[in-house]
Amino acid sequence: MIKKTLMVLSLAIAMTLGSFGGGIALADEEAVNQGKSVAFNRQKGNCLSCHMMDDGDQPGTQGPPLVAMKLRFPDRENLRSRIYNPLEFNPNTIMPPFGLHNILSDEEIDAIVEYLYTL
């Protein structure tokens, strides 16, 4: 009984510590990986069809290269909106409104933002 309590306690401590340090990094990495796979998938984001990014093969040239994203879009919410509904910024843009038209889910867009911030 005491042993069990101790174990639970130490687990709780480990988790608390983890959430301040390595835990977040781990969760982020997961989102980053998911974001990359959504971005590269032709049936999902298919970002590569128009944007040069990361180590993606055969990128298109319709849109600007996706580099230095954190520097260029320091406001996370702003970057997210540009994916969710780019028509807000330019009603004639040829970029699809990925959120407004439910091409991607909210979770998938969040993951892409997470991934873009690593570029």
At closest approach, how far in Å is the CB of 8 from other proteins? 36
| DSSP element (H, E) containing 40 | helix 22-40
Q: Which is nearer to other proteins, 34 or 93 (CB)?
A: 93
Q: Which is nearer to other proteins, 19 or 90 (CB)?
A: 90
- Least Cα distance to 84 among 116, 106, 53 occurs for 106
Q: How far apart, in whole angstroms, are the C-alpha atoms of residue 95 and residue 85?
A: 9
Residue type, 62: Q
- Those residues whose C-beta lies under 8 Å from the C-beta of residue 68, and which sit 6 or more positions away, are 119
- Positions 47 through 106 that interact with other proteins (CB under 8 A): 48-50, 58-62, 87-92, 94, 96-97, 100-103
At closest approach, how far in Å is the CB of 32 from other proteins? 23
Tokens of 106: 């909210």
Query: Applying CB under 8 A, what is the total number of residues that bind other proteins?
Result: 21
Q: Which is nearer to other proteins, 18 or 59 (CB)?
A: 59
Binding site for other proteins (CB under 8 A): 48-50, 58-62, 87-92, 94, 96-97, 100-103
